Chain A
Amino acid sequence: MADRTMVPFPSNAIVPRKDADKRPVLEAHHLGIDFGGLTAVEDFNLTIGRSEIAGLIGPNGAGKTTVFNLLTSVYQPTRGTILLDGYDTKGKNSFQVNKMGIARTFQNIRLFANMSVLDNVKVGLHNKIKTSFPASLTHFFGYSQAEKAADRKALELLDFFSMADMRDMPAGALPYGDQRRLEIVRALATQPKILLLDEPAAGMNPSETARLMENIRRIRDEFDIAVLLIEHDMNLVMGICEGICVLNYGRVIAKGTPRQIKSNPKVIEAYLGKKAEGKNA
C-alpha cells in the first residue's frame, strides 16, 4: 500500500476500474497534528472501504472535527499521510481534495445563507458544470444548455430529500433540519467518493433522526459512496455504522463493529470515567 503515495495526481480517470473497486476509498496513516506545541491528534490510522458507512465517535474535545479538517485539508497534518482513492493529499487545498472525491458537512452549519436553495446546490455542482469563462460572460457558447442541465441535476438531488419545492427560498431562511439536509445535498452535488458528515443529527428530534438514518443508508446505496460520520447520538451510530472508530484525547482507543465497541471497556471508561459501573455508553 505504501508505494501508492508515489502515484501523482493528474486525474482520477486514469485508474483502471477493476483496481479501483478493491482499493479502500480513504486511508489515513499515522496522522498527527500539533497546534503550537499542543498535540491535538496523534497516530491516527483509519481505512474506509468503498460503500462503507463508518462512524467516528468520542467525548467532546477528543479531536473528531480536527480529523475531519485534516482529511479535507482545512489543516495540513504535521505527521502522517492521507490517501484518498489511492492518491496522497499532501499539500493540496480544500478545493483540490474535494475535486479528488471528498465532500463534507459542518458541525456549525455553513450554508450560503443569502443564496437560494437551488443556487447552493448549483455551487456544489460547480466543477461538474461545463460552462467556459467566455460563455459565462456572454451567455453564449453553450451557456443555456449547461445551465439547464445544472438546474435539472440540482433539482434531482434536492428531490432526493424532497426539498425541490424549496428551490427559490434563501438557504438562511430554511428551518434548522432542512439546513442540515441542504448541506448534505450540496456536498453530494460535488459527486464525492466519500462523504463526511459532522454531527448530522445535532438538534434533531428522534423521528427526524430516524429519517436521517434512513437517508444516510439511501445515500450510500443509491450514490454508491462511502460515508464517515461524527455523531453523539449512539442510536444512530450503532444503528447504521458498519465500522466505528473511537477517539479520546486525540488518539484512537478502539476500533471495531458496533457490537465490539459497545462492550469495549476502554470505550466505556472514556465515556463514563474510570469508576463508572459499566452502563451503556
Chain B
Amino acid sequence: MNEETAYYEPLQQQRPLLSVKNLSVNYGAIKALKGVSLDVNSGEIVAVIGANGAGKSTLMTAIMGDIRRSGGQILLNGLPLPERSYQVVSAGVSLSPEGRKLFAPLTVYENLEMGAFPLKDKNEIREQMSHVYELFPRLEERAGQYAGTLSGGEQQMLAIGRALMAKPSVLLLDEPSLGLAPIIITEIFKELTAINKTLGMTILIVEQNANKALMLSHRAYVLQTGTIVMEGRSKDLLSNPEIEEAYLGGKKHQ
C-alpha cells in the first residue's frame, strides 16, 4: 500500500474532496475539539489516530451534523456541508458509527435498506445492495437474519455495508476494530483496502488501533485532546519514534 502513496501525491494539489477547517465543538464548558483542520482527497484513505477521549468520535459526529458545531467550516467538494444529519447523508457523506449501532431487531436486509434511505431509485438501491453483497458475501447468506444475532465481525461488516448503501462520496468509519478479535480486524481491514481500490471509495477512518490504521491509510493525522498535533504520510508516521512511543506500544510490527 505504501508504494502507492506516491500516486496520490499529485492529487493533493487539487481541491480536497472533504475539507474540515478550524472545526470546534463544545460540550457545555468542555472544549472537545479546538479548531481541527484536515483534508481528505478523492480516492484517499485518511486516518485520524488518537487515544481515548482525544475527540475522534466527536470529530465524526460533528461532520455528520449529529452534534452542533460551535465554530469552523466543513466543505465537501468546495461546498459547505449541511448541518443536519439527513442532509449530510444526501450530500454524500455516510458514517459507520462507533460500536456499530445496528438496528438489532431488524434483519440484515432491512438494515441495508435503511442505509439506502436517501436513495430514491429502486434499481440504484438494488445495485448498491449487490455491490455490498459482493464485498461481504456473508451478509447475503444472512440477509433474513436479525442483525442482533450476528457475530461481532459480521456486525462490523454490516455496519460498513450499511454506510456504503447510501452511495457516499466519502465513507466515515468510527473505530471499526472496536471489540473485535485480531484475526477479524485483519479481515475487515483487508476489505477496507478493497473498498478503496475497487470502488475508488474515499475513506476517513478514526482508530485507536494506530498500527492498523497507519498500515491501511495513505495519510494520517494525530489528534490529542481536541487538537491535531501531527500529520503526515502514514508510512512516515509509522516509523516516527514519537508515534511509536505514544501509540504503537514501542514496537512497529506486531
- Chains A and B come from one and the same complex: no
Residues of B at the A interface (CB closer than 8 Å) are none
Residues of A at the B interface (CB closer than 8 Å) are none
